[in-house]
Amino acid sequence: MGDKYHKKMKFDLEEKIKSYITRREKDYLSEFAYKNEDGLRRKQKNIEDIRTKCSRDADRIAHTRAYSRYIDKTQVFFLVNNDHITHRVLHVQLVSKIARTIGRALKLNEDLIEAISLGHDIGHVPFGHPGESILSELCEKCGLGRFLHNVQGVQFLDKIEDCDLTLQVLDGILCHNGEVHNQSLEPNRDKDWEKFDKEIEDVKKGKKDYVPMTMEGCVVRFADTIAYLGRDIQDAIEIGLISSDLEVPERCRENIGTKNDEIINALVIDLIENSYDRNYISYSKEIMLPGRVTSFASN
């Protein structure tokens, strides 16, 4: 009875589609891009289908219970009666869009970028980073260790919901830290499941210098910052925390602009121009990024 609802594609057609996807990947992607044939699953519970490994991962993430909980999680500002303030679910979509734009220009794997983007904040608690800090303090008082949303995201997807995602996707989620403003990132490609599990334990103990194993993971990390900078300013003006974008520090106004579209445009172009045909992702030396809008609004 169960097989009736697990329809399979005709073998020859499936192989033709798989062959086309593989050929297109080899012909189009950069030599520095992730290739789906390199994807590593911890269990490999299912036979792969016409979707690429990372496209399937993105689908699995979007159908998790954890992903559904994005809807009520705030980004920066909370307890505000305004439907136009950015929530976590919108931020995740913006990161995916911006990262895929950069990845397409650099001839990287957009399926991997999408999967990491959709899952990168899945471990966040309500009330943004202040909520995470408070919960972490409570966890430490109870002897549970620190609460870190990136580690929690990996645990949700890898252990609690057992999605059997590729190592490359989980690594990008663990290493997405958009709060750290790197000028340049070169992937740490030397990772396997054993090293990844050890890195999680090291991160729990306070390790700070961890970077993604793929170019795509590095792109998402930069896109995370790009996605929130302009929206933070826009939201702060919307709720009256700052009166106008003129309160943005002068060095930022001169280098990247003050409006959301200006900031995204300036940073995306700079990143592409300084990363094209290179084995790392980098801004130019002229780019100076501000902290979160709440930090300078109180100065």
pTM: 0.90
Report the pLDDT value the prediction gives residue 208, as an integer from 0 to 100: 83
Q: Tell which wins on pLDDT, 233 or 105.
A: 105
Spell out the domains of the chain, with CATH numbers in brackets: 51-297 (1.10.3210.10)
Average pLDDT over residues 227-253: 78
Could you report the per-residue pLDDT of 241-252, keeping only the tens digit for each? 877 777 677 777
The CA R_g of the chain, rounded to the nearest whole Å, is 20
Report the pLDDT value the prediction gives residue 78, as an integer from 0 to 100: 65
Q: Is the dihedral of CA 156, 162, 164, 167 positive or negative?
A: positive
Report the pLDDT value the prediction gives residue 292, as an integer from 0 to 100: 52
Share of residues in the chain with pLDDT > 90 (%): 56
Report the DSSP beta bridge partners of residue 281.
185
Q: Tell which wins on pLDDT, 258 or 39.
A: 39
Res. 85: pLDDT tops 80: no
Report the pLDDT value the prediction gives residue 291, as an integer from 0 to 100: 57
Kindly tell me the burial class for residue 24, based on how many C-beta atoms sit within 10 Å of its own C-beta (0-12, 13-18, 19 or more): exposed
Q: Tell which wins on pLDDT, 258 or 194.
A: 194
Average pLDDT over residues 168-176: 96
Report the pLDDT value the prediction gives residue 79, as an integer from 0 to 100: 59
Kindly tell me the burial class for residue 61, based on how many C-beta atoms sit within 10 Å of its own C-beta (0-12, 13-18, 19 or more): buried
Residue 60 token pair: 């699995």
Could you report the per-residue pLDDT of 40-55, keeping only the tens digit for each? 999 988 888 899 999 9
Report the pLDDT value the prediction gives residue 178, as an integer from 0 to 100: 58
Nearest residue to 172 (alpha-carbon basis) of 189, 147, 194, 148: 189
Three-state SS across the chain? Answer: CHHHHCCCCCHHHHHHHHHHHHHHHHHHCCCCCCCHHHCCECCCCCCCCCCCHHHHHHHHHHCCHHHHHHHHCECCCCCCCCCCCCEHHHHHHHHHHHHHHHHHHCCCCHHHHHHHHHHCCCCCCCCHHHHHHHHHHHHHHCCCCCCCHHHHHHHHHHHHCCCCCEHHHHHHHHCCCCCCCCCEECCCCCCCHHHHHHHHHHHHCCCCCCCCCCHHHHHHHHHHHHHHHHHHHHHHHHHCCCCCHHHCCHHHHHHHCCCHHHHHHHHHHHHHHHHCCCCCEECCCCCCCCCCHHHHHCC
Nearest residue to 137 (alpha-carbon basis) of 93, 87, 129, 110: 129
Least confident range from 79-88, 102-111, 221-230: namely 79-88
Task: For residues 128 and 82, give the distance between their C-alpha atoms in angstroms, rounded to a whole number.
Answer: 17
Nearest residue to 86 (alpha-carbon basis) of 231, 293, 259: 231
